[in-house]
Structure 1
Amino acid sequence: MKALVYEGPQAIRYRDVPDAMIGDDDSALVRVTSTGICGSDLHIYGGHGFSADLGFCVGHEAVGEVVEVGRAVSRFVVGQRVLVPASVGCGRCQSCATGVVAGCETGTTALTACYGLSSALPGAQAELLAVPRADGNLVALPDSISDDAAVVLADNAATAWYGARRARVAPGDTVTVVGLGPVGLLAIQSAFAMGASRVLGVDLLPERRTRAAAMGAEPIDSDDPKARIRELTNGKGTDVAIEAVGADATIKLATSAVRRAGRVGVIGVNQNTKYAFNMPLAQVKELEFTIGLCSVQYELPTLLRLTAAGRLRPEEVVSHRLGLSEGERAYEMFAGRTDGVSKIVLDPAA
């Protein structure tokens, strides 16, 4: 089969690899019809990935059709259209039974909790994807949800919703979203769906601010975004800040953007083990600070209903649709932030 393979920094290659195959009796094989490139894939592309492995299939967002199931799979059949959540659980423990696969109690390690981080669990940017514990790690897709929307729901939209939910966005709140890539744009949608009265959007790139404005946010175009946020909120700051980048500077901005007793939700991936959290500031301001990894399975029931009803529009963040064979160029484009790129969806058949 064809797949995108990590061969080193700035080296994602379109290659022939052995066909994915089902493993245990409770696994399934999915023919991928759409797959996405996520911001966290850029950690791998940049050489700052999650393992030292080379030569593995990348990607963790997929929509497709079931082509084979193990004899112990009971919830899915061949020919069924499915979404593959980015998060992976054992499907057997109490946490996984409730959808909180990030809290999996058995059988899941950091490198097998998500597709495409290492050779331990090959990724979704391929023609075929093997799904372990299929009954817990696949989600049936209704016809009302498009492939574009479903790919975004597989990680980006769920992560955005998770960040807004954990930061307890409430009706009437003002919210700052720091970072207006796909996850940040979806955090804007999530905040408004939860009842926010006002959302401020911070990003260095003008085209991203334009996208945020089209979703109803107020873009912050300033060399001093903290001062501008204070100016727009009568010196107080917003009720909530959602950080969707993962950089030290953007986390610092999020904690400074909120009012006293404000709430901060960090959903960007930060790999700095020596990050200096300003504990005195947090204590004096009585901040609530949340951070974590999203269990997509837990968020999806709500998000599928909201998407079907038109309350969320995940497909709006998709800016480019390319063939998987164009994956090398797609990564260059996404990493370079060229051509007004936001979300890239890849078609393995093209």
Structure 2
Amino acid sequence: MTRPPVSIPRPSSWKADCVAGELKYAEAIRRALADELASDPDVVVMGQEIEALGGVFTATQGLAESFTGRVLDTPLAESATVGWAIGAAMAGLRPVVEIMFMDFITTAMDQIVNGAAKLRYMSGGQVALPIVIRTPSDGGTGHGPQHSQHLETWFAHVPGLVVGMPSTVSDAYWMLRHSIQDDNPVVFVESKYLYFRESGEIGPEGSGVVHPYGARIVRSGDSVTIVTAGRMVAESLAAAESLAAEGIDCEVMDLRFIWPYDREALAESVARTNRLIVVHEAVQDFGWGGEICAWAASELFYSLDAPIRRLATPRAPIPFAAHLESALVPNRAVIESAVRDLARH
């Protein structure tokens, strides 16, 4: 017997009170997991070294003691773990799987792409697949080419999957809780760079966005729209603040969900600024920024006064050495230069 579908809150009813106190990004993830475990007995969390160790980034620290038998260590077998989660979800549970690094998600691709993403459709909606696959991504931490990749575009390309990328403490908390309540499988891409570098309070649910999958304008402006997500939000915002002194007033949009992405908010922003640049840490070639640019070129052509720009990581492995990595991945200075060039048109 399958669990009855959970209604995803809509704009009129989904907002909630804030959670008091300042937390780090990793602590917000842990708080979200704890609150979902406490509020729903069907939620289970599983992954490598998450029980006794509390996860390599401490995101599950202390949860096993509070929720006996529901925070489970798994073997070094991502495919088997996701396969178990698919069966558990079909039986009525709400599994949350932690993949230690996003690079390791490759070993579970068949289960995610051919299993989790397809079964709700292939069953004619008779089964729900409320699975969240949490995984830390991005560079900036010296983890090298096999532990620093951004692979979110792969999953945004697959029908049936939701892909989220929180950039703030508040979004890390609320987006994860919303994802756990979703009846669709969600690939939840966390920033290991931000885990202990980003601090803040958990504000009201949905603050600054009009629906659960909506984008957020983190800085208003009328010169250029910068669309970004994940840790590039902070880099883009820093660049925008610096450029303001030069008379270039950037609007910075945190997309939050790579799929489904908020086309309405994007259209409204480009109508204000008439210029668009997309910034992401994933490799530029065939990255999700290309989809944003293609859609904007097709649907927002008459709002644009300049060519659309993409700014992303070149097609190369991420180096271990910090100075080499910083020369490869977009940063504040590179964003400033690209926006200046765009603003001249």
Alignment TM-score, normalising by the size of structure 1: 0.29
Q: Which has the higher helix share?
A: 2
Alignment TM-score, normalising by the size of structure 2: 0.30
